[in-house]
């Protein structure tokens, strides 16, 4: 078959133009793109080269015939007109695949059956025997493409998908196909970068697909060189001598390319299973001395030492199966800006919101498809180091100057205490000037995605409700003055000031405006490291006024069984665990808070069976629980009307709650009960049953001393009595 033949190479949607260029370089003629594929012409050698060398094609199909097929009879007749004895022997095996689009025939399996019938009927009539059907690796795979009633009948020269290169062993969940990996590398400019000696880094390498394909590309290894099966190997039109010549040529190119390949490919992943899979696949590909992989969190990455700046390529998770999370993308973006400045990047993402979370500005965006999932490849020509708008001092209004003076006065008053106690998160202003009604809290921390960076100061400003008699425009101006004053005193850009403004939202919500950043900081409270979010929620994840109570838990928990009810983000459990608690049990109805608590515990090395997290309604859980605890912390909300639990009203139900807690308390144990309801009154009958001590005064640090009603707290014990 030296005459010109007609071929079609299917591919993933979005990479047709890349495949056009590739096929032209392989010697194809009359090359034209189609939807999810490319038509081309050439001798059989061109088809063989496409099978052996195409990094992008899914298959290579040789067209045998094309005809109109308005119904099953026309389809049968058109297939019967082909001399199938030239394609497969009567003792051979075959399989038929069918793809239908906008045609009168609509059932693909039925159409494939008619094609098979036409072939075997021809053999039975001519030879009295017929080929048998073999779905896996047949001698001849026939492909029917029926589009708008025009049938194309093809021989599948590849036989099975060309992304199966022959090196893949173990896989991780949702692996990237080799063909799409090569498209990502080509769009990312890897060919030119590799020629310059640049390195390649994949910070979430999974089973190593991008690393292996990049190294094979740099070594000039034919993608199909390691395959043991092609569809043409049992085909009657196969030219064995031609194929052997092409294989020998590819072997020689591979030998020379591998000899010149240097170890400049680096992969990382947080999953030990992924690293194990990568290493096995790298070994199967014969690249163990060239590609190095290491288990590491993306937030902890640095550019490889002595590596020349090159391409950072990544296929981060972007669907629910892989728990895609904007914080992961922010961590990736922060790492790139911190450690890979000057590099190029190619990042595949399936969600525009996740792409924006990177905080990088792509010069080009390419639409691709990963299977049926629409994706976008972001190409960054040069990663720039992090830039934060510098603080610019501006003139303050008279009111703003008053607030600034008060802030400086408070900072000075709290200075010695903060230094002595090592306090880095504290309240610096609490409506000290009545007309500027807001609380200002200071948080010193590091971004979660860069835990080893230097701590920076952030502010959390929370507006209080103004009297209805004050015009809204006035309250807005006063809040703006307060924010400008805080920025001036702390010399901070606006990006590091979180402002929660009062507004009447749907359902009567008190707060109507938040920044949806998904940005977490890690702050320190003595030995504890805790996650806070200043922008996305009404509360930050850390009640600063409860600092003394948490530190008391740390002092008294050694060897005790600790129960933390309405545990919120688990900060109390963390302090108890660091204080040597034998065990901690944290109960909350919110899955969001429990996930946060789990991360706080893990951040402090407190994961495991000794630190239990329970999602449950506290009242129901206490009624069912049988274990006893030596130290219980209970800080209930004022109200709760969750759809998953009975309504809870603190004032009406607190006595029942305290009784339930005491039922779970050991005879020598202590219950610490607190809340932030300013009009709360403790049931007087409780003092007749238990030893109840008001400990409010000892649970307020100097930063909250100005407002002693910020919370109430009691220490409750069993009375000393015989047999208790």
pLDDT > 60? residue 512:
no
CATH architecture designation of domain 543-717: 3-Layer(aba) Sandwich (3.40)
Identify the weakest region by mean pLDDT among 47-56, 319-328, 645-654: 319-328
Instruction: Tell me the pLDDT band of 178, cut-offs 50, 70 and 90.
Output: very high
Assigned token pair, 548 = 């003394």
Calpha distance 702→534 (Å, rounded): 22
| CA neighbor of 383 nearest in space, from 303, 292, 316 | 303
Average confidence (pLDDT) over 492-510: 68
CATH class of the domain comprising 5-156 = alpha beta
Assigned token pair, 498 = 């979180």
Calpha distance 439→406 (Å, rounded): 13
Assigned token pair, 688 = 């007749």
Calpha distance 703→413 (Å, rounded): 9
Query: What pLDDT digit, counting tens, does each position of 95-142 carry?
Result: 999 999 999 999 999 999 999 999 999 999 999 999 999 999 999 999
398-513 and 543-717: identical CATH topology = no
Instruction: Tell me the pLDDT band of 537, cut-offs 50, 70 and 90.
Output: confident
The burial class, CB within 10 Å (0-12 / 13-18 / 19+), for 501 is middle
pLDDT > 50? residue 677:
yes
Q: What φ, ψ does residue 400 adopt, rounded to 5°?
A: -65, -35
Q: What number of other Cβ atoms are within 10 A of residue 283's Cβ? A: 13
pLDDT > 50? residue 186:
yes
pLDDT > 60? residue 508:
no
Q: Rg of the chain's alpha carbons, rounded to an integer?
A: 34
Which residues are CB-neighbours of 313 under 8 A, at least 6 positions away? Answer: 184, 185, 188, 190, 200, 201, 202, 210, 214, 345, 346, 347
Calpha distance 471→268 (Å, rounded): 56
pLDDT > 60? residue 506:
no
Assign residue 263 a region: left if phi > 0, alpha if psi is -120 to 50, beta otherwise? beta
Specify the pLDDT at position 324. 62
**What are the residue ranges of helices labelled H in 223-303?**
240-259, 272-284
pLDDT > 50? residue 723:
no
How is residue 474 annotated by DSSP? Answer: H
Q: Which helix (H) or strand (E) holds 108?
A: helix 108-127
Question: Rounded to whole angstroms, what are the CA distances from 517 to 358, 456, 471, 514?
Answer: 11, 18, 30, 9
Specify the pLDDT at position 280. 96
pLDDT > 60? residue 54:
yes
The burial class, CB within 10 Å (0-12 / 13-18 / 19+), for 586 is buried
Average confidence (pLDDT) over 532-548: 93
Q: What φ, ψ does residue 398 adopt, rounded to 5°?
A: -60, -45
**What HEC string does 528-561 produce?**
EEEEECCCCCCCCCCCHHHHHHHHHHHHHCCCCE
Residue burial 150-182, b: 16+ Cβ < 10 Å; e: rest: ebbbbbbbbbeebbbbebbebebeebbbbbbbb
What residues does 40 pair with on adjacent strands? 7
Average confidence (pLDDT) over 525-541: 93
Each domain of the chain, given as residue ranges in start order, spans 5-156, 178-219+262-380, 398-513, 543-717
Whether the CB-CB separation of 461 and 486 falls below 8 Å is answered with yes
Average confidence (pLDDT) over 497-514: 57
Specify the pLDDT at position 509. 40
Query: What pLDDT digit, counting tens, does each position of 220-255 carry?
Result: 999 999 999 999 999 999 999 999 999 999 999 999
Assigned token pair, 474 = 């006035």
Average confidence (pLDDT) over 345-351: 92
Calpha distance 217→58 (Å, rounded): 17
Whether the CB-CB separation of 100 and 138 falls below 8 Å is answered with no
Assigned token pair, 684 = 């007087």
Q: Which helix (H) or strand (E) holds 218?
A: helix 209-218
Specify the pLDDT at position 657. 97
Beta strands in 11-81 (DSSP E): 29-34, 37-42, 61-68
Q: What number of other Cβ atoms are within 10 A of residue 721's Cβ? A: 7
Calpha distance 299→301 (Å, rounded): 6
Whether the CB-CB separation of 713 and 695 falls below 8 Å is answered with yes
CA-CA-CA-CA torsion for 286, 290, 294, 298, nearest 10 degrees? -120
Calpha distance 436→443 (Å, rounded): 21
Question: Rounded to whole angstroms, what are the CA distances from 261 to 106, 188, 211, 220, 308?
Answer: 51, 20, 13, 10, 15
| CA neighbor of 592 nearest in space, from 570, 621, 575 | 570
CATH homologous superfamily of 398-513 equals RNA methyltransferase domain (HRMD) like (3.30.750.80)
Query: What pLDDT digit, counting tens, does each position of 56-65 carry?
Result: 999 999 999 9
pLDDT > 70? residue 86:
yes
Pick 330 or 31 by higher pLDDT: 31
How is residue 149 annotated by DSSP? Answer: T
pLDDT > 70? residue 645:
no
Instruction: Tell me the pLDDT band of 640, cut-offs 50, 70 and 90.
Output: confident
Q: What number of other Cβ atoms are within 10 A of residue 56's Cβ? A: 26
Q: To which residue do tokens 């939807």 refer?
A: 35
Query: What pLDDT digit, counting tens, does each position of 560-604 carry?
Result: 999 999 999 999 999 999 999 999 999 999 999 999 999 999 999
Whether the CB-CB separation of 336 and 316 falls below 8 Å is answered with no
Q: To which residue do tokens 């805080």 refer?
A: 486
Query: What pLDDT digit, counting tens, does each position of 377-418 carry?
Result: 999 999 988 766 667 788 999 999 999 999 999 999 999 999
Specify the pLDDT at position 259. 95
**What are the residue ranges of helices labelled H in 464-503?**
472-490
How is residue 495 annotated by DSSP? Answer: G
Average confidence score pLDDT of the chain = 92
Query: What pLDDT digit, counting tens, does each position of 263-316 carry?
Result: 999 999 999 999 999 999 999 999 999 999 999 988 888 899 889 999 999 999
Q: What φ, ψ does residue 549 adopt, rounded to 5°?
A: -65, -40
Instruction: Tell me the pLDDT band of 644, cut-offs 50, 70 and 90.
Output: low
Query: What pLDDT digit, counting tens, does each position of 441-470 carry?
Result: 999 999 887 888 889 999 999 999 888 888
Specify the pLDDT at position 517. 62
Assigned token pair, 547 = 């600092």
What residues does 33 pair with on adjacent strands? 38
How is residue 683 annotated by DSSP? Answer: -
CATH 3.30.2310.20 is the classification of domain 178-219+262-380: no
Residue burial 95-132, b: 16+ Cβ < 10 Å; e: rest: bbbbebeebebeeeeebbebbbbbbbebbeeeeeebbe
């Amino acid at each position: 078959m030296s005459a010109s033949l007609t071929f079609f190479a299917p591919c993933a949607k979005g990479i047709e133009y890349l495949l056009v260029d590739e096929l032209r370089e392989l010697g194809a003629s009359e090359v034209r793109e189609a939807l999810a594929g490319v038509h081309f012409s050439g001798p059989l050698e061109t088809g063989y080269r496409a099978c052996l060398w195409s990094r992008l094609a899914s298959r290579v199909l040789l067209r045998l015939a094309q005809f109109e097929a308005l119904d099953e009879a026309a389809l049968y007749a058109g297939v019967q007109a082909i001399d199938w004895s030239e394609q497969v022997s009567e003792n051979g095996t075959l399989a038929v695949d069918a793809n239908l689009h906008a045609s009168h025939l609509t059932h693909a399996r039925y159409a494939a059956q008619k094609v098979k019938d036409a072939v075997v009927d021809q053999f039975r009539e001519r030879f009295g025997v017929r080929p048998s059907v073999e779905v896996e690796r047949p001698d001849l795979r026939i492909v029917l493409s029926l589009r708008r009633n025009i049938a194309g009948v093809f021989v599948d020269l590849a036989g099975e998908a060309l992304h199966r290169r022959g090196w893949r062993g173990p896989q991780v969940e949702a692996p990237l196909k080799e063909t799409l990996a090569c498209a990502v590398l080509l769009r990312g400019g890897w060919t030119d970068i590799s020629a310059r000696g640049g390195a390649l880094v994949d910070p979430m390498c999974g089973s190593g697909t991008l690393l292996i394909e990049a190294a094979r590309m740099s070594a000039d290894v034919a993608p199909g060189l390691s395959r043991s099966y092609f569809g043409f190997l049992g085909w009657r039109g196969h030219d064995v001598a031609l194929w052997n010549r092409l294989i020998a040529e590819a072997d020689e190119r591979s030998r020379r390319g591998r000899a010149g390949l240097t170890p400049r490919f680096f992969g990382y992943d947080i999953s030990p299973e992924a690293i194990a899979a990568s290493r096995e696949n790298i070994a199967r590909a014969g690249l163990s001395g060239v590609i190095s992989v290491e288990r590491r969190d993306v937030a902890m990455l640095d550019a490889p030492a002595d590596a020349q700046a090159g391409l950072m390529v990544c296929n981060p998770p972007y669907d629910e199966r892989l728990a895609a999370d904007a914080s992961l993308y922010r961590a990736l973006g922060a790492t790139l800006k911190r450690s890979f400045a000057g590099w190029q990047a190619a990042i595949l993402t399936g969600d525009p919101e996740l792409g924006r979370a990177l905080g990088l500005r792509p010069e080009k965006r390419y639409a691709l498809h990963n299977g049926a999932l629409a994706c976008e490849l972001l190409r960054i020509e040069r990663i720039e180091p992090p830039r934060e708008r510098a603080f610019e001092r501006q003139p303050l209004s008279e009111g703003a100057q008053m607030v600034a003076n008060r802030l400086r006065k408070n900072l000075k008053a709290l200075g010695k205490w903060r230094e002595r106690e090592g306090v880095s998160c504290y309240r610096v202003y609490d409506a000290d000037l009545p007309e500027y009604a807001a609380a200002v809290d200071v948080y010193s921390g590091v971004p979660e995605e860069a835990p080893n960076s230097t701590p920076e100061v952030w502010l959390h400003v929370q507006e209080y409700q103004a009297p209805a008699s004050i015009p809204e425009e006035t309250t807005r101006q006063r809040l703006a003055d307060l924010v400008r004053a805080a920025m001036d005193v702390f010399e901070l850009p606006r990006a590091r000031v979180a402002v929660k403004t009062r507004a009447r939202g749907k359902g009567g919500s008190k707060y109507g405006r938040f920044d949806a950043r998904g940005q977490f900081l890690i702050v320190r409270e003595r030995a504890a490291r805790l996650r806070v979010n200043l922008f996305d929620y009404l509360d930050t994840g850390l009640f600063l006024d409860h600092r003394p109570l948490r530190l008391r838990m740390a002092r008294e928990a050694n060897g005790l069984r600790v129960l933390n009810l309405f545990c919120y983000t688990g900060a109390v459990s963390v302090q108890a665990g660091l204080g040597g608690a034998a065990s901690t049990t944290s109960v909350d109805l919110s899955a969001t808070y429990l996930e946060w608590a789990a991360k706080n515990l893990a951040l402090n090395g407190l994961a495991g069976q000794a630190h239990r997290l329970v999602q449950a309604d506290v009242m129901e859980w206490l009624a069912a629980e049988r274990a006893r605890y030596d130290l219980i912390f209970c800080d209930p909300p004022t109200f709760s009307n969750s759809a998953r639990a009975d309504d809870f009203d603190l004032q009406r139900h607190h006595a029942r709650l305290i009784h339930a807690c005491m039922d779970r308390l050991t005879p020598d144990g202590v219950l610490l009960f607190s809340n932030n309801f300013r009009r709360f009154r403790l049931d007087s009958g409780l003092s007749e049953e238990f030893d109840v001590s008001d400990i409010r005064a000892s649970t307020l640090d100097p930063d909250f001393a100005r407002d002693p009603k910020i919370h109430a707290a009691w220490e409750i014990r069993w009375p000393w009595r015989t047999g208790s």
